Structure 1
Amino acid sequence: MGMQSVREFVWGEIPSSKLEQKLLLKIDWFILSYCCLMYFTNYLDRANVNNAYVSGMRQELDMQGNDFNKINTIFTCGYIVGMIPNNLMLQVVKPRIWFPLMQIVWGVLTFCSSAVQNVEQLYAIRFFQGVSEASTFVGTHYILGSWYKPGELGKRSGIFTSSGLAGTLFSGVLQAAVYQNLNAVGGRSGWRWLFIIDGVITLPIALYGFIVFPDVPATTNAFYLSEEERLLSHERLESDTVQHGLSWNLVKKVLGRWRWYGCSLLFAISGETESFGSNNLMGQWLSAIGGYTVEQVDYYPSGVTAFGIASTLVCATWTDYTRARWPVLVYMCICCTIAAICILVWSSPTGLKFFAYYLAGASYSGQATTFAWANQICADDNQERAIVLASMNMWNNAVNAWWPLLFYPATDAPRFKKGMIAMICTCAATLAVTWLVWYLERREHRLANAKEKRLSQEGRESVGSDKVTGSGEK
């Protein structure tokens, strides 16, 4: 593999000109820097209630029974409700305005959380926080699909999703430091300061977005792009993109094609392979079997996230180079199936269980690839792409609202027998749906090529017929 091939493998398709190379460098810097920072604050402001709950909020607000579970369920409901409207708003309001505006909304709500006097007030805040935070994940994938070619998209999607995973590695440390140093300062409890500090971090990043975010190629007025670069950003995406106003015809069109069903089903199922990490099963296992300090129980599971970041970046790099998305999902399913079997066989040694939990971190690699694939499938229609991306995450969250309660309840620790069986079945179902989407995409391309060939043939016959008619009239 030569240097050119190595460079292409590491950073995706090589720009064809110096101008394109300069353009790509600019949009990489300004789009990815803001989107990654936005997603990081999204994670901070979403996860802080977990830290607050164990840092005095439960006692101060006199929370009882499943009040804490209700907070998370209400947030998830808001998140589900907000997904499609947020993505459709990107068709109406410039992303440079909408993204930072929603970030300000959830930042202000985070400030408000520091002043709540009862859990009912927190319920209301968390619902609207879920609605506003729903703008970030699928909205960013929509923007990435608007700026990047298929050969560039996977790596950028991977970097974006990894920024959220990276946040899981040190956000807890940040929250603990805030609580340790600010508890009782100014007469405020430490958990209230958590919300204040997170809000303080959020708002300047929103201001940065107002200033530098470039919208989409067709409408960008970014100060750092020349007129030539603006034209190139619009022209370099190969496919002709359909752009219509919002109407009920859009809904009929989206529901009349396979894309919405196939992509939504794919992420609704494949997203549940992340259950090992999202439910911190390794931490629950270590805590339940005993013999580990609190610090070790908190620290050891970070290896799951670390392997998830590595898998995401390597897979995203590879899939951009090969232009094939489906093998990443196969890799993810194989890893998670092996992990589940190793844990299901309870007589296996502790070291093998450690290996299995870390191997299960591969499940995170499917997220970026699945959304890059959906961007690629719907590249010819912006509105459909926005709805499909939002629906994928919406259905995944709809499933995830009850999935852990059914298959990964804390009372099943340390073995999680039901969960391991469910994971094996989830991986098998993911492979089946992956094949279905792959088949339908290939079928769509085959039919489109056949139609184009037929129209071209009819055009040539029409020209030939005109020539014959013309020669007869002379």
Structure 2
Amino acid sequence: MTNRSYELRNENGRNKFKKFFDEFEYRLNSKDRISRFTSFNLFKFLYPSRVTNSKAEKTLLFKLDILIGLYFLMLCWSKSVDTNAYTSAYVSGMKEDLKMVKNDYVYTSSITGVGAIIFQIPFMYILPRYPAHFVLPIMDLGWTWFTFACYRANSLADFRAYRFIANSFGGAYYPVSQYILGSWYGPDEISSRVFLFFCGQLLGGVTSGLLQARIFKSLNMIHGLAGWRWMFIIDAIAISLPTCFLGFFLIPGTPDKCYSLFLTDEEIKIARARAKRFAINNPKGKLPKFFSWSNWKKLFLSPFFWILCVFDTVSWNNMTAFSGSYTLWLKSLNKYSVVKVNNLSTLPAALGFAYVALCSFGSDFFRCKWAFIFFSNMMNAVSCIILIKWDVSSSAKWFAFLTTYFSVSASPCLWSIINDFLRFDPQLKAMTWIAIYSFSQSTYSWIPTLTWKTVESPKFRTGYIASLCFTLVYACWSIVVLFFYKRNEKNHSVDNGIILYNDDPENKQEIPAFVSQYLELKDDGYYYLRESNKLEYSEEISKE
């Protein structure tokens, strides 16, 4: 990287308490970390090109937002519509047609989720080795076919079998998508792009209810098929199938294995240079043997793995937004028609757009993900407390239900932090992503069966108490993660363009020898590689 700037930073006099909460203290040097408070312009915020001042880099980012961001929005939307179709179908006649009783609703969700957990494990091996623009659409085709098959279910066992297989094909799209996003975007760019991904999830929550309402009204018993059956047919053919085929052409893979009809060779080179600038290591050459003990030792003996496992697990289990409680409460009021229930069910997800946008853009703008994770969990805690009490005014109850999507809003920040933690080793990144996601999702398969029992509908007191506990742990754990994140970044400070020393006599740390040997101070106050050293600097500096 010929443009890499290095900041020589003296640690003497550092305010430890104040700086502890500065998340990006060691992640970006002062040159890369240009203040965003002087003037705010959304276009400059999304496409800053602050280091190279390159129009080509801005063009690359814009193209990536179209190719990756909008595609994942569509993919997540189609998955979310299919997933939410289960709740919409349940309150639209499927419960009666399939003779679902007692806790069959929550048990079916848990059973079908097991397929996703089991069949995403092979992606530990697949992710860094095979091009994502083939892997993801092929898996999506399987999801589409078995979503379509759900309309044929004549018993609960049939339905569970179809959903189990569909989820088996769809299980990897979360970690695969985040793996791809983390390969292209910088640390203060990624949350606002993960926002697009979650927009798809929220859009699915909104459109699923509206689609089911329209389908139930227009197609119920047409050709002898109930409205809920038409929902699965339309989901598969009109929504999921087109998304599958678009994936083959839009997904550019990762910078190291980029196969794109829309990116030029120059833009691919810029993407690879950006990855170096942001210290993102993508697969190069031959990867270590997957089954070697050193790989698995790195995974399971690393404190980061267990810290991130807890982090992701509490994020999965605090999500009151996806419990279906709001829709079941609406139905229990017995004053809304099926169409009205489906229409009203979209309100929390619609408001969720604002909550997710606040956390996603705010965390990138302020470069402070942990604070927005903490804030969103405090808001979710208020919602849970109101619903635990239950005997409150109608307006308070509506407020609580309409703020449940704060339980989701921190997810872009969470996933961005995980991506940043794992950026140094592509094999370990794939293994860790799948491992923590599988573990977290597995807890989400059995915890709801204990806490969100359908027989407790619509109050779900146990569920809200459990969610409150997970929410409080989630908020507090963000501080723990911040500590380990900063320690990790300090250990990699040179990769981030920051050279540390300390001239305090009691804690003296010399200026590293490579500064005078390989670097030269320019007029802007930062160090750059001498022209004669650009071929050999990489190995020498990395050793430091």
Both structures adopt the same fold (TM-score exceeding 0.5): yes
Counting aligned pairs with the same residue, the percent is 24
Note if contact 1:141-1:371 (Cα within 8 Å) is conserved in structure 2. yes
Q: Distance in 2 between matches of 1:56 and 1:299?
A: 16
1:95 — aligned with what? 132
Q: Distance in 1 between matches of 2:334 and 2:219?
A: 32
1:26 pairs, out of 63, 68, 78, with 63
1:281-296 matches, cutoff 5 A: 281-288=325-332
1:30-179 matches, cutoff 5 A: 30-55=67-92, 57=94, 68-86=105-123, 88-179=125-216
State the number of aligned residues: 462
1:354 pairs, out of 380, 398, 402, with 398
Q: How far does residue 206 in structure 1 lie from its aligned partner after superposition?
A: 1.2
Please tell me the residue identity of whatever aligns with 2:385.
Answer: I
1:216 — aligned with what? 254
TM-score between the two structures when normalised by the length of structure 2: 0.76
Please tell me the residue identity of whatever aligns with 1:252.
Answer: K
1:227 — aligned with what? 265
Q: Distance in 1 between matches of 2:232 and 2:117?
A: 23
- Structure 1's unaligned 5+ residue stretches are 464-474
2:41 — aligned with what? 6
SS at the partner of 2:318?
A: helix
2:241 — aligned with what? 203
1:365 pairs, out of 409, 431, 451, with 409
Q: Distance in 2 between matches of 1:168 and 1:376?
A: 29
SS at the partner of 2:406?
A: helix
Distance 1:73 1:14, change over 3 A: same
Distance 1:54 1:229, change over 3 A: same
Distance 1:176 1:303, change over 3 A: closer
- The worse-fitting range, judged by mean Cα deviation, of 282-291 and 302-311 is 282-291
Please tell me the residue identity of whatever aligns with 2:417.
Answer: W
1:254 — aligned with what? 299
Q: How far does residue 210 in structure 1 lie from its aligned partner after superposition?
A: 0.8
Q: How far does residue 30 in structure 1 lie from its aligned partner after superposition?
A: 1.2
Q: Distance in 2 between matches of 1:125 and 1:285?
A: 28
Distance 1:280 1:19, change over 3 A: same
Q: How far does residue 188 in structure 1 lie from its aligned partner after superposition?
A: 4.5
Please tell me the residue identity of whatever aligns with 2:62.
Answer: L
Q: How far does residue 82 in structure 1 lie from its aligned partner after superposition?
A: 2.4
**Cα shift readout 1:7-60 (whole Å, capped 9, x = no counterpart):** 368536445310001111111111122211111222233333444455555565
Please tell me the residue identity of whatever aligns with 1:256.
Answer: L
1:419-434 matches, cutoff 5 A: 419-434=463-478
Please tell me the residue identity of whatever aligns with 1:115.
Answer: R
- Structure 2's unaligned 5+ residue stretches are 1-35, 501-508, 519-544
Note if contact 1:374-1:388 (Cα within 8 Å) is conserved in structure 2. no
* Higher normalized contact order (CA 8 Å, seq sep 6+, divided by chain length): 2
Distance 1:314 1:179, change over 3 A: same
Note if contact 2:76-2:201 (Cα within 8 Å) is conserved in structure 1. yes
Note if contact 2:318-2:468 (Cα within 8 Å) is conserved in structure 1. no
1:241 — aligned with what? 281
Q: Distance in 1 between matches of 2:282 and 2:305?
A: 16
Please tell me the residue identity of whatever aligns with 1:209.
Answer: G
Distance 1:435 1:347, change over 3 A: same
Q: How far does residue 247 in structure 1 lie from its aligned partner after superposition?
A: 1.3
Q: How far does residue 423 in structure 1 lie from its aligned partner after superposition?
A: 3.3
Q: Distance in 2 between matches of 1:84 and 1:358?
A: 35
Note if contact 1:408-1:419 (Cα within 8 Å) is conserved in structure 2. yes
1:466 — aligned with what? none
SS at the partner of 1:224?
A: coil
Cα root mean square deviation, aligned:
3.1
1:378 pairs, out of 414, 422, 425, with 422
**Cα shift readout 1:244-300 (whole Å, capped 9, x = no counterpart):** 24513322212221222111210201232212x211333444544666665655444
2:314 pairs, out of 248, 252, 269, with 269
2:386 pairs, out of 329, 342, 346, with 342
1:441-460 matches, cutoff 5 A: 441-449=485-493, 457=512
